[in-house]
Amino acid sequence: MQIETNLTIEGYVRPNSTSIQYNTQIPVYIRAVSVAKNKVIKSAIIVGNHLTLGKNPGNVLGGTDNLYVYLILVNEPTIANYFVPGTVYRLTDSSNVGTFELEATDSGGNTPPADIPISVNGDPPAPDAPFIGSGAGDTPDIPYEGDFDFNHHFDFSIVSNPASFILGDALAGIRPTIATLQLQVLNAQINEEYGVQIAFSSRNPLGFTLHLDGDLSKHGIPYRMFLGNDEIYNNELNIWRDLFTQSSNFASAQKNVTVLISAVDMVDSAPEGVYQDTVTVIIIPLDTL
């Protein structure tokens, strides 16, 4: 194998139970797990350019048996629930999984052992079979399913998104609405309360900030954001819990997202132009509350 062992992935994680953040450098390593005859016969971390996938020594297969090898990305988080179920992670641009070659060792009678190249995906045996595809720059999504199985599911949508607002209204305390959110639960139990954890993430990691032309290097105007009547903070998880199914297995609720600007001095010193921010909404389903 010709792989980079210092791999990193990126995506949203929970550094603690109340907040969420986008981590661009999550260290991972690859563990190879070999399964034959419905049993794990080998499990080893890939640390070099050669790895024996079966028992050593010993015959792995017999007759028409198959050998399955699972390559698993593993991280050792410092806290439980560090990763977010349902989130898609991605290999960072600096990570190179590389290529591999597969061989079987064969010997018979007095014949010395010899390595026999094996074809991959029906292609001729080669020393540079790709792990993740043949195209340059292929970077597949890495789904993290987690350990949960809900019969119900949530539907989140933005039913109204005026987005732009009058700066003077936000300064005057009127709290203009920038979006109306709708949360629904379907196929749920009757007479139950459901909810989700929800977080809002500004492009500026320091907090909600409008930047000239949306450029983080240009002048910024901090702003405050509210979900319904509750103020929310950048990357902090909140509970949206008012989904009552009552007499059906369906429930729906809406909340307005409003903004307020208190930093008058940053507005007075702002160059003329268009100020904007991109906010990412993260939803983490909960079971019945």
For residues 122 and 182, the model is more confident at 182
Model confidence pLDDT, tens digit, residues 66-94: 888 888 888 887 787 888 877 888 888 88
Looking at residue 172, its pLDDT comes to 93
Model confidence pLDDT, tens digit, residues 214-243: 999 999 999 999 999 999 999 999 999 889
Rounded mean pLDDT, 134-157? 69
CA neighbours within 13 Å on the CB side: how many for 211? 16
> For residues 244 and 251, is the Cβ–Cβ distance under 8 A?
yes
> For residues 194 and 286, is the Cβ–Cβ distance under 8 A?
yes
Per the DSSP assignment, residues forming a β-bridge with 154 are: 185
> For residues 221 and 209, is the Cβ–Cβ distance under 8 A?
yes
Q: What is the DSSP string of 74-111?
A: E---SSTT-B-TT-EEEE-TT----EE--EEEE--TTP
| CA atoms of 283 and 286, how far apart (whole Å) | 10
Instruction: Tell me the one-letter amino acid at 250.
Output: F
Q: How many other CB atoms are there within 10 angstroms of residue 175's CB atom?
A: 19
147: confidence class by pLDDT, cuts 50, 70, 90: low
Residues in the chain: 289
| CA atoms of 183 and 161, how far apart (whole Å) | 15
For residues 5 and 11, the model is more confident at 11
> For residues 247 and 190, is the Cβ–Cβ distance under 8 A?
yes
The structure tokens listed for 134 are 């043949």
Instruction: Record the pTM.
Output: 0.69
Answer whether residue 289 shows pLDDT above 50: no
To the nearest whole number, what is the mean pLDDT of the chain? 86
